[in-house]
Amino acid sequence: MPLSARKFLKSVSGSFAPLLAILLIPMVAALGFSIDYTSAVSTRASMQNALDAASLSITTLSTDTSLADRQVKLQEAYLGTAKLDSFVVATDGAASIKASAGFAMPTNFMQIARINTVQIGVASAVTKRPALVQATFKVDKISGWWDKTVTLYGTKPGDAAANKLMRISYAYNRFGDPKGYGTSSVYTINGTTETLVQKQVCTTVTVTSFYGLPTGTITQISGTRKYATTCVNTMYPATGAGAVIDVKDMDNLSLEMKIPNPNPGLGGGYLASGTKETLRSDDPATSDRLFIDKVKTLANTTVDIFEAVPCGITSSQAWEDGGSLTNNTIDDADFSYFVTGKCAFNKRPSETVLTQ
């Protein structure tokens, strides 16, 4: 230590050394309190993140999971002491979850002031909107000079491969009328088992006059020839609504239209018209062939089928099968169907939002 400093501290003519010692005590205490406070803030942030993650995790459990079992799962996910304060599912399927957690953090420097622990508390609130759990598809009218198939695919959370859930096939009757009609069959798919739920047979004839035709007859004129088409629906069972598809365990849904290429020599997956033979709702390059309630999907858009199928009401949808989209209207579309959605509480994590 320098000589001047030693002389200053040994000096008996003043009282600065004792004063300095007294002042150091609160300074050290303040520094220690600051360290404990910073540790508490960091601990609280970690607790909040952990509780939020734990709260979100229990929203993916089945609807029949009891509150006690949800509490156990919350505790397992949190890895601390957490409490599930409430888990309420409204009649429309909307869910709200509240959870809390506390921790008595041991202190280091605050013990000088006899504060051995600091109580830290966090709370988490989650809301989950009702979402699509079931979709019912029913063919309206299908036409066109190409055979084609529309398939609904669903992917479960964590799965890489999609599952086939529904198939609608169409076979052109080759009568030669301008629009072209044929036979359509709708199937539900469960694994490798297909079940026929609707069949629509459209028959076309030439007529000399459109006078007196049955209600619902489709009429066409080409040159001097007149065509009349009647379509008969058969449901299986007879009271059936169509293809009723359970999608509550699905995280992603997509529609695919496949048009078998009559000119496979062209290669590149294109038809003679220059249109791709495979159209998908999740492919921005081809999704604009889909019409939802008569509105054409915007180009370069990925369609979310969960959003495209409304809750509790029926939507009219259609695909243009690869011909012309010259006028960009629903009149261009050849593959028309109705789809009705049922929404309720679901396990999809994407429907969950933290509100606290």
Distance CA 184, CA 277 (A): 19
pLDDT exceeds cutoff 50 at 218: yes
Cβ neighbors of 334 (< 8 A, separation 6 or more) are 142, 143, 144, 179, 180, 318, 319, 320, 321, 323
In the sheet with 182-190, reading across from the earlier edge strand, the strands are 218-222, 225-235, 193-207, 182-190, 163-172, 148-155, 252-258, 278-280
Q: How far apart are CA 302 and CA 306, in angstroms?
A: 12
pLDDT recorded at residue 213: 93
Mean local confidence (pLDDT), 20-39 = 59
Looking at residue 147, its amino acid is D
31 burial type by CB count under 10 A (0-12 exposed, 13-18 middle, 19+ buried): exposed
List beta partners, residue 341. 135, 311
Q: Is 205 helix (H, G, I), strand (E, B) or coil?
A: strand
- Is 70 exceeded by the pLDDT of residue 2? no
Higher-confidence residue of 112 and 244: namely 244
Gap between the Cα atoms of 79 and 86, Å rounded: 19
- Cα gap 241→347, rounded to integer Å: 25
* Confidence grade of residue 339 (pLDDT, cut at 50, 70, 90): very high
Cis upstream peptide for 130 (omega within 30°): no
Amino acid at 18: P
Answer yes or no: is pLDDT of 1 > 60. Answer: no
* In the chain, where the domains are located: 16-128, 132-350
Would the pLDDT of 74 be above 70?
Answer: yes
pLDDT surpassing 90 at residue 326: no
Q: Which amino acid is at 355?
A: T
pLDDT at 320: 86
Q: Is the pLDDT of residue 20 over 50?
A: no
Burial of 62 (0-12, 13-18, 19+ CB in 10 A): exposed
Does residue 189 have a pLDDT over 90?
A: yes
Lowest mean pLDDT among 3-7, 83-87, 91-95: 3-7
Tell me the mean pLDDT in the region 255-261. Answer: 86
Residues 65-93, mean pLDDT to the nearest whole number:
86
Can you tell me the mean pLDDT for 203-217?
93
Average pLDDT over residues 151-160: 90
Report the Cα–Cα distance between both ends of the chain, in Å, rounded: 57
How do residues 159-170 score in pLDDT, each as one tens digit? 889 999 999 999
Mean pLDDT value across residues 300-313: 91
Judged by average pLDDT, the poorest of 110-114, 197-201, 253-257, 323-327 is 323-327
13 pLDDT above the threshold of 60: no
Of 281, 278, 298, 291, nearest to 332 (Cα)?
Answer: 291
Q: CA–CA separation, 87 vs 147, rounded Å?
A: 50
pLDDT higher than 70, residue 349: no
45 alpha carbon, distance to own chain's centre:
29
Question: What single string gives the DSSP state of each residue in 162-227?
Answer: PEEEEEEEEEE-----SS-BEEEEEEEEETTEEEEEEEEEEEEEEES--TTPPTT-EEEEETTEEE
Burial class (CB in 10 A: 0-12, 13-18, 19+), 145: middle
73-81, long-range: CB < 8 A, 24+ apart: 74/99, 77/53, 78/50, 78/51, 78/54, 79/50, 80/47, 80/50
State the Cα–Cα distance between residues 138 and 199, nearest whole angstrom. Answer: 10
Q: Give the Cα separation of 304 and 314 in Å (integer).
A: 17
So what's the pLDDT on residue 130?
Answer: 85
Per cent of the chain over pLDDT 70 is 80
325/294: higher pLDDT: 294
Residue 162's nearest CA partner among 249, 277, 285 is 249
**Residues 6 or more apart in contact with residue 147 via CB below 8 angstroms:** 169, 170, 171, 172, 182, 259, 260
Q: What would the pLDDT profile of 273-305 be if each residue is shown by its tens digit?
A: 545 688 999 999 889 889 999 998 998 999 999
Query: Which band of pLDDT confidence, cut at 50, 70 and 90, is reported for residue 48?
Result: confident
Reported as a pLDDT band with limits 50, 70 and 90, residue 16 is low
- pLDDT category of residue 321 using cuts at 50, 70 and 90: confident
pLDDT at 113 over 80: no
- In the chain, where does DSSP find H-type helix? 3-10, 16-57, 67-78, 305-308
pLDDT of 325 reads: 57
Determine contact, residues 161/153, Cβ cutoff 8 Å.
no
* Mean pLDDT over each residue of the chain, to the nearest integer: 83
Averaged pLDDT for residues 242-253? 92
